[in-house]
Structure formats: structure tokens, C-alpha cells
Amino acid sequence: MRRPIIVALCLTGTVALTACQKSPDAEVQRALKDVNVIDESNLSDIMLTVGDPDEAVSYFSRTAEQNPDRIDLKRGLGKSLVRAGRATEAVAVWRQVVAHPEAQNEDRVSLADALIRSNDWTGAEAELNKVPPTHETFERYRLEAMVADSKKDWKKADSFYEIAAGLTSKPAAVLNNWGFSKLSRGDAAGAEKLFVQALTYDSGRFTTKNNLVLARGAQRKYDLPVVTMTQAERAELLYTLALSAIKQGDVTVGKQLLREAVETHPQHFEAAARSLAALEA
């Protein structure tokens, strides 16, 4: 009479053992899934920062197509298209992102950025107007400043540039843009101060050095500013200063600066030599 009970107990034990054997498999699958997510996240980060822009577009296009509900992949595709210089395509992708149920305010800011890059300033302004005032980020105010600049609303532009510069630990680029804005409206002295300030955060940015020379040239300050520069950069800056002097009618000064540029450059400075030859002909 006890045999069936023993058999039943053995069967029960087999079922229990089977269940115990399945549990590690399930854990392994979960662990592998977690590892895959981590690997994919790392790959996405690499693609968005150091990866080739066109390769990143291919990666995110393919992966987003395989996972159409994943908004993070759409974001990656939009950012990659912007990096690849394909702003019009990026606009279409960012419009899909902002229509997604999980869209955030920063996604609309990214759409505005893509619209500016595709020269749709009206569209960018419309998108920024949809972002609530409580969304106070560097990127939002940087774009607000650029839009105000495009409309020649200098008071608003200055306000937004100032706010943006205060919201980042690396304000060199936005200070450079602000300086160029002031230079374009004739405030060379104000522009010079901003370019100098920008170089305190990034002393290697040649664009800012060149803009600083332009601002000084506009004030007829024909000596180079005291900033770190290579020999080739020094020659380029002398050339910029020479053109600025010539433009304002100070031709003799311009010729001298061109000669210095030609003599300073470590290689043959074709552009400066040609300009000098034309003036002396």
C-alpha cells in the first residue's frame, strides 16, 4: 500500500528538481538580457560621441526600424543626422519624437535646433514657444538667443545669451556667439570683451581668436591681443588684421601687416602673399 506513495513522492521530487533546474536558466536569460541592454546603451553612447556620423545614422536607422516603439533610438537617429549635417532629415525624425507619448520638453528643443540648422527660423521660434517657461536649460536659452538675434531683437538676445552662459560650465561657444552678435550690430568694444571672456574658458579656440582680432581691427587696434597662439595662427591673425585695416582705408598699415603675415607663417602663405602683391602692383 505504501509503494504508490513512494512513487508519488519521487515524482514530486522530480518535478521540484526540474523546477529548480529551470530557475538558473531563467536567471541566465535575464542576466544576458541585462548585458545586451548595457552593451547596446554603450554602443549608442559611442555612436553619438566619437563614432563616424554616417555610421551612427546607419546604426540608429537600422535599430530604430527593428524597435519602432523605442523613443531613445529615434532620439539617437535625430542627433546622428544633425551630426552628419543632414538637418532636413533630422527635422522629420524629431517631429516623430515629439509626437511620441513619452516625448519630453528637451525633444522639442532638439526639434527647434534642427529647424534652425535647416534655416527655418520661424518654425524654430514656434517650437520654442511651445516649451514651458519652467524648462530652463542651457540649450533652450542658447536657441532662444539665436532666434532673437535673427529678428534683431538685441535686448532679448542679450538677455538670453546671458542666461545661457550662466547655465553651463563651458560657456566659450555661447560667449563667442554673443560676441559675434555684438560685432555684427556695430558694438566692437562689447564684442571684444566677450571674445576675451570666451578665451578664458577655451584658449585654443581659433575662431574666437580670429573674431577678437576682427573686433579690435574694427576699433583700429592694429596690434595682436595677448593670447596663446601658434606661429601659423599668428600669421593667420595678422592676415585678418591686415584685411580689417585695408577695409577701413588704412592701406599702409594693412601692407605692413601683410608683410608680417608672410614672414611669420612657417610655410608659404599664398593668400597673404597674393593680397600684398595686388596692393603693391
CATH number for the domain that contains residue 92: 1.25.40.10
Cell (9 digits) for 172: 566659450
Q: Which of 199, 132, 143, 203 is nearest to 167 (CA)?
A: 143
The last residue of one of the domains, among 114, 145, 170, is 114
The verdict on residue 60 lying in a domain is: yes
**pLDDT, position 14:** 40
**pLDDT, position 52:** 83
Angle at which helices 251-264 and 231-247 cross, to 10°? 170
The verdict on residue 168 lying in a domain is: no
Work out the number of other CB atoms within 10 angstroms of the CB of residue 196: 17
**pLDDT, position 13:** 43
The verdict on residue 239 lying in a domain is: yes
Cell (9 digits) for 242: 591686415
The verdict on residue 104 lying in a domain is: yes
The last residue of one of the domains, among 86, 114, 142, is 114
**pLDDT, position 44:** 67
**pLDDT, position 46:** 74
Give the torsion through C-alpha atoms of 68, 71, 75, 78, to 10 deg: 40
Q: Which residues of the chain have pLDDT under 50?
A: 1-22, 28, 31-38
Q: Which of 81, 145, 148 is nearest to 118 (CA)?
A: 81
The last residue of one of the domains, among 51, 80, 114, is 114
**pLDDT, position 53:** 86
The verdict on residue 69 lying in a domain is: yes
The verdict on residue 187 lying in a domain is: no
Angle at which helices 87-98 and 105-117 cross, to 10°? 160
The verdict on residue 162 lying in a domain is: no
Work out the number of other CB atoms within 10 angstroms of the CB of residue 270: 10
Number of domains in the chain: 2
Angle at which helices 105-117 and 121-129 cross, to 10°? 170
Domain assignment of residue 67, given as a range: 43-114
DSSP secondary structure string, 109-169? HHHHHHHHHTT-HHHHHHHHHTS-TT---HHHHHHHHHHHHHTT-HHHHHHHHHHHHHT-S
**pLDDT, position 35:** 41
Cα atoms in the Cβ-side hemisphere of radius 13 Å centred on 19: 6
The verdict on residue 275 lying in a domain is: yes
